[in-house]
Structure 1
Amino acid sequence: MLIDTHCHLDFPDFEAERDAIVARAHAAGVGQMVTISTRVKKFPQILAIAEKYPTVFCSVGTHPHNADEELDVTVEELVRLSEHPRVVAIGEAGLDYFYDNAPREAQVEGLRNHIAAARLTGLPLVIHSRAADEDMAAILTEETGKGAFPFLLHCFSSGAELARIGVELGGYVSFSGILTFPKSVELREIAKTVPTERMLVETDAPYLAPKPFRGKRNEPAYVAHTAAVLAETLGLTEAEIAAITTENAFRIFSKMPRV
């Protein structure tokens, strides 16, 4: 069994055929999925999806692109919403200096609020980090010094140093379809340095479809292709990488039951 640890089933791309998408995921061996929140103010929609499908769970949080729009969402509110049994993570939150859709100071403030919620709840923080390696490493190091919190670096496409620091601080590293791209040689080399007990797989669907679907809409079923490339990269069998990443997912998403 595989677990897609990061997808966005609430996005309009899936509206017309969500039942079929979940069914295709199951047929591909994807036993469970975590659909990730990007806007707390749209949390009811994502929660409704997690409540409808027994194999789908969700998070609660604000994407860095929208950080300045939701700074009024308090740590206490994140903690309260996370008490729902279908909520297994905080986020996604983080820093995106590539697009800079929100002021950087708002992104930092939002990230620190989500870290506080993760620390209080014990739920893992799903971290989005793009073109912000140094600031992300500094914040994670500083905040961990205030008190440990579980976290994962989702859709990892950063440098080797952030991967190293993340793992040293107790975090996990999640690989998406980017790992399968021909030009992702450096990323595959980084994957070899991540302890197997700290790696996860995801789709980030509807984005970043892996080979051979690159350029098309991604969906949870396709996480099998990323897992296959990760297995090849590490010299493992697909069955071995499925067992490893699934066990890791249950470890970090400790609130998620084995359905």
Structure 2
Amino acid sequence: MFVDSHCHLDLQEFDKGIDLIMTQMSNAKVDYALVAGIDKKKFNNILKLISNYSNLYASVGMHPECLDKEEFSIEELCLLAKHNKKIVAIGETGLDYHSHDHQDLDWQRNRFRQHIRAAKISTLPLIIHTRSAIIDTLNILKEEGARDVGGVMHCFTENWDAAKLAMDLNFYISISGIVTFKNAKIVHEVASKVPLDRILIETDSPYLSPEPYRGKVNNPANVVYVANKIAELRKTTVEDVANASRKNFFSLFSKIGL
């Protein structure tokens, strides 16, 4: 019934409990999850994980804040995506200026452009991270023709105007556990206004646990709380949110059905 469109089950928080996590997902009726790649050195961990569980898929990429000097080349991204049927997107990629005031961030922008070009060659959607950088993020997506492949704005925390611009570029809007936070008014507005055919839900596990688990290690089973809050905000049923986000997941990551 539910799908977690973005998580990081390869991280050390889950090293000793992945089977339990999978059981919790099943009990919560969360039957698929996408594990987003964030670096090159540890990507083999993701490959092992998705090979062991039929309901886990992955993306390949480098998070904008990953400081490893060893980068994926465009060719490497494309080869990984081509030769593994369970790699269904390019990313997590994008821009993050939050901790980098007055620094030269051309390396982030260049990495971002490389990922967009790989996505276009691979004809796969993009998974976008943006923090304190929405204008540059949208501009680069437009300049590089990312509309051709589209993708998702993961863990979206920008305002409604930014959401509309992203959707105009052929991107879905993904809502995380932040929507359950009392003071997340901007996210509440976006979650209540995004058309159901453009919405995804996620946990970003192990981060951003929703209420009532805020501050604890998150896991994909908790995506149910995200769906519940969105349903409350939209004055609809959780089934409507679950069904729409599930349909959007398989539409966007269409390689899953091949």
Structure 1 length-normalised TM:
0.94
Find the counterpart in structure 1 of residue 215 from structure 2.
Answer: 215
| Range 245-254 or range 58-67, more displaced | 58-67
* Equivalent residues, number: 256
Tell me the amino acid that sits aligned with residue 107 of structure 2: A
* Aligned-pair Cα RMSD in Å: 1.7
Contact 1:89/1:124 (CA < 8 Å) preserved in 2? yes
Deviations 1:142-194 (A, max 9, x none): 2227x612211000012222211110111101000001100012211122332
**1:68 Cα shift?**
6.0
Contact 1:119/1:150 (CA < 8 Å) preserved in 2? no
**1:57 Cα shift?**
0.7
Structure 2 length-normalised TM:
0.95
Q: What 5-or-longer segments of structure 2 have no aligned partner?
A: none
**1:11 Cα shift?**
0.3
2-structure distance, mates of 1:226, 1:208: 11
Find the counterpart in structure 2 of residue 46 from structure 1.
Answer: 46
Structure 2 SS opposite 1:88: strand
Q: What 5-or-longer segments of structure 1 have no aligned partner?
A: none
Tell me the amino acid that sits aligned with residue 112 of structure 2: L
Structure 2 SS opposite 1:225: helix
1-structure distance, mates of 2:199, 2:122: 22
**1:99 Cα shift?**
2.2
Deviations 1:61-119 (A, max 9, x none): 00001166244x21111000012011111110110111239952111111111111111
- In the superposition, relative to structure 1, how do residues 178 and 119 fare at CA in structure 2: closer, same or farther (>3 Å)? same
1:60-209 to 2 correspondences below 5 Å: 60-66=60-66, 69-71=69-71, 73-83=72-82, 84-100=84-100, 103-144=104-145, 148-209=148-209
- In the superposition, relative to structure 1, how do residues 198 and 67 fare at CA in structure 2: closer, same or farther (>3 Å)? farther
> Percent identity among equivalent residues?
39
Structure 2 SS opposite 1:214: coil
Tell me the amino acid that sits aligned with residue 76 of structure 2: E
Contact 2:209/2:215 (CA < 8 Å) preserved in 1? yes
Moved beyond 4 Å, runs of 4+: none
